[in-house]
Amino acid sequence: MRRYIVRRLIHMVITLFAMMTIMFFMFRLLPGDPTMTMISSVMYPKAQEAMRAQFGLDKPLIEQYLIYLKNYSTLNFGYSFHSSREVSELLSGRIVNTLVLILPSMIVAYGLGALLGALLGWYRGGRFETSVVFVATALQAAPVFWLGMLAILLFSINLGWFPPGHLVTPGMFPDQDLRMYVSADFLHHLALPFLVHTAYQICFPLLLMRSSMLATIGEDFVEFARIKGLRERKILFGHAARNSLLPVATTIPMILSWALAGSVVIETVFSWPGLGKLMIEGVQRSDFPVVQAAFFLIAVLTIIGTFTADLLYGLLDPRIVYD
C-alpha cells in the first residue's frame, strides 16, 4: 500500500510536469504573442527591449522554460499583466471559491445519485422509475449554462428566492475573510449555483447506479443473501447496492475532472469568482500569466482528485491489490 502511494505520487509529479511542459510550449506556439497587450509596437524600440528583458523574454526559449519550471514549482506564478498584482494573490481566494462550489456539489451528486439509483434499481418496474429515468436523461443532455439561465430566470428573477449571482452581497464582506464562507448571505448566494450544478451532475451517477443495480440483482450472491434469511434492507444496502457501487465509483475521477474543468461555465453564468471565471477574465484581457496559472491549478486539483478517488476505490474493492 505504501509503495503504491509513493508510486502514484511519482506518477502525479510526472503528469504535472508533462502538463506544464505542454502548456508552456503550447502558449508560445499559438498564434498571437501573449505579450502583445503589454508591449505594443508603437512603443519606442528601447522601451520594448526593456520590457522584454523585464519579463525575461530576451532569454533563449529553453532558459525561459527552465525559469518557468523553477518558478512554478515554488508556486511563484509571476505578475498579472492586467493589474500588476501577484498572480498567486489573485488565485488564492479563487481556489477556495471553486472548491466550495464544486466539491460539496459533487459529493451530494454522487451520494444522493447513488442512493436514488440504488432504490430505483431495487424497486424497479414502476411508473416512478420510468419518469425519473426520463427526467435524468433529459437533464443530463441539457447544457449547464442553459440550466443555469433557466434557474436564474425562474428562482431569481420571477420568484426572487435567490440572488442571481456573486459570492455575497457586494460590500458586505470588504475584507473577504473566512467568516464570509460561513455567513448566511454566502449560503444564500451559493444555493442556486449549487442546486443547478448538483441537479446536472446527479444524473450520471444515478443512471449508472440504476443499471449497475439491475445487473447486480441477478447475481448469485444477492439470491444467496436472501436464502440466508437476511432482511431486505440488509440485502439492498449490504449486498446489492454495495457491489453496484464499484462501477459507479470508477467514474468519479473522470467526472470530477470534467466538473473542475467545466467550472468555467457555471461560474460564468452565476458570476461566481472562481478559477474558471478567473481564467475567462484572463483570456478576455489577454492576461497570459493569470490564464496559465489558472490552467495549472485546475490541472493540479484534477490530479489530486483522481488520486484520492483511486485510493477510495481500493477501499471499496478488496480484490484490487496495491503493489
Partner 1 sequence: MSTQAGSKSAVPHVLDIRDLCVRFRTKRGIADALDHVSLSIPKSASVGLVGESGCGKSTLMKAAIDVLAENAEVTAGSVYYHDLDLLAAPAETVRQKRWAGISMITQSALNALNPVKKVGDQIVEAIRAHRNMSRKDAWARAEEMLQLVGVDPKRAREYPHQFSGGMRQRAIIAMSLVLSPDLVLADEPTTSLDVIVQDQIFRKIRSLQEELGFSLLLVTHDLGVVIENCDRIAVMYAGQVVEEGPVDQVVNTPFHPYTLGLKNSLPRIDAVSEPIAIPGGPPDPIEMPKGCRFAPRCPFAQDACRQTKPELVSVGAGHRAACIRQAEIPGLRAEAAKIGTWAKVAVKSEEVVE
Question: Does residue 318 interact with partner 1 by CB under 8 A?
Answer: yes
- Footprint (CB under 8 A) of partner 1, residues 18-77: none
Which of 175, 177, 220, 323 touches partner 1 (CB under 8 A)? Answer: 220
Scanning 64-72, 82-90, 219-227, 252-260 for contacts with partner 1 by CB under 8 A, the matching segment is: 219-227
Going by C-alpha positions, the residue among 243, 239, 245, 247 that lies closest to residue 222 is 239
90 or 235: CB nearest partner 1: 235
Who contacts 211 (Cβ-Cβ below 8 Å, separation ≥6)?
A: 121
Is 70 or 226 the residue whose CB approaches partner 1 more closely? 226
**Contacting partner 1 (CB under 8 A), which of 11, 28, 166, 231?**
231
Q: Does 179 bind partner 1 (CB under 8 A)?
A: no
Q: Which of 168, 239, 249, 268 contacts partner 1 by CB under 8 A? A: 239
- 311 is an interface residue for partner 1 by CB under 8 A: no
Among 90, 118, 132, 225, binds partner 1 (CB under 8 A): 225
- Is 11 a binding residue for partner 1 by CB under 8 A? The answer is no
For partner 1, the closer of residues 244 and 268 by Cβ is: 244
Measured from the CB atom, is 23 or 246 closer to partner 1? 246
Footprint on residues 99-158 left by partner 1 (CB under 8 A): none
Write out the chain in H/E/C secondary structure: CHHHHHHHHHHHHHHHHHHHHHHHHHHHHCCCCCCCCCCCCCCCHHHHHHHHHHHCCCCCHHHHHHHHHHHHHCCCCCECCCCCCEHHHHHHHHHHHHHHHHHHHHHHHHHHHHHHHHHHHHCCCCHHHHHHHHHHHHHHHCCHHHHHHHHHHHHHHHCCCCCCCCCCCCCCCCCCCHHHHHCHHHHHHHHHHHHHHHHHHHHHHHHHHHHHHHHHHCCHHHHHHHHCCCCHHHHHHHHHHHHHHHHHHHCHHHHHHHHHHCHHHHHHHCCCCCHHHHHHHHHHCCCHHHHHHHHHHHHHHHHHHHHHHHHHHHHHCCCCCCC
| Bridge partners, residue 146, by sequence | none
Residue 224 is a binding residue for partner 1 (CB under 8 A): yes
Q: Which stretch binds partner 1 (CB under 8 A): 204-212, 228-236, 292-300, 306-314?
A: 228-236
Q: Binding partner 1 by CB under 8 A: which of 150, 223, 237, 258?
A: 223
Q: Is 323 in the site for partner 1 (CB under 8 A)?
A: no
Scanning 18-26, 190-198, 225-233, 277-285 for contacts with partner 1 by CB under 8 A, the matching segment is 225-233
Residue 237 near partner 1 by CB under 8 A: no
Cell numbers given for 131? 419518469
Least CB distance from residue 104 to partner 1, whole Å? Answer: 28
Distance CA 101, CA 99 (A): 5
Kindly indicate which of the ranges 85-93, 144-152, 163-171, 238-246 contains the residues binding partner 1, using the contact rule CB under 8 A: 238-246
- Judged by CB under 8 A, how many residues of this single chain contact partner 1? 22
Strand partners, 86: 79
> Shortest gap between Cβ of 122 and partner 1 (angstroms)?
12
Tell me if 245 sits within 8 A of 110, measured CB to CB.
Answer: no
Using CB under 8 A as the binding rule, whether residue 228 contacts partner 1 is answered as yes
Site of interaction with partner 1 (CB under 8 A)? 219-221, 223-231, 234, 238-239, 242-243, 246, 316-319
